[in-house]
Structure 1
Amino acid sequence: MRLVVVSVVLLSLLGLSLAEDPYLFFDWNVTYGTISPLGGPERGILINGQFPGPEINCTSNNNIVVNIFNFLDEPLLFTC
């Protein structure tokens, strides 16, 4: 009986050590829109219709994949 318990514990620990970090997937549609950050309406860049853009809530070692679809009239660059 004791051997079975030790085997189960070792196999579960082995399974935890081989697990891959979780992936988080996001789709961002980048468009122009009307915003009023200073009180008056202005043309601005929106992500999924939001300004400022959406937050990415994650923890350490998460793999983040962001699919960005650019609907602007010019190229767009994101940096981290």
Structure 2
Amino acid sequence: MASLSNGACKFLLGFLLIFQVSFAKGEDIFLEWHVAIDTRIKPIVSVNQPVITINGMFPGPLINSTTNDNIHVNVFNDLDEPLLMTW
């Protein structure tokens, strides 16, 4: 039985490594956000005005993710008017 040459072994090893890396997948992250107006939070001490919050937080929640992660965000608009959220 003939053995593989050094160059063929390197090629095969490189191909297998690239093949394995191509199937690497990021993590799926699922978030649920409720957008509402809160009059109890005061972003500036001297100003008494309502604040748009996400899950009762101002500023909104932090998204911790890495490259190739898939982030699924379900946004529920609890405001009295339409909401446009962009990234």
Smaller-chain TM-score range? 0.7 to 0.9
Q: Deviations over 1:44-80 (max 9, x none)?
A: 1010000000000111111111000000011101111
Of the three residues 18, 23, 30, the one matched with 1:18 is: 23
Question: CA RMSD of the aligned region, Å?
Answer: 2.0
Q: Paired residue for 2:37?
A: 32
Q: Given the two structures, how large is their TM-score scaled by the length of structure 2? A: 0.68
Q: Given that residues 26 and 67 in structure 2 are in contact (C-alpha distance below 8 angstroms), is that contact kept between their aligned partners in structure 1?
A: no
Are the equivalent residues in 1 in contact too, given 2:35–2:53 (CA < 8 A)? Answer: yes
State the secondary structure of the residue aligned to 2:52: strand
Structure 2 regions of 5+ residues with no counterpart?
A: 1-12
Percent identity, aligned pairs only, is: 51
Q: Does residue 70 of structure 1 match 2:69?
A: no
Residue number in structure 2 paired with 1:7: none
Who is 1:42 aligned against? 49
Structure number with bigger Rg: 2
Q: Name which of 52, 56, 72 aligns with 2:63.
A: 56
From the two aligned structures, give the one with the greater strand fraction: 1
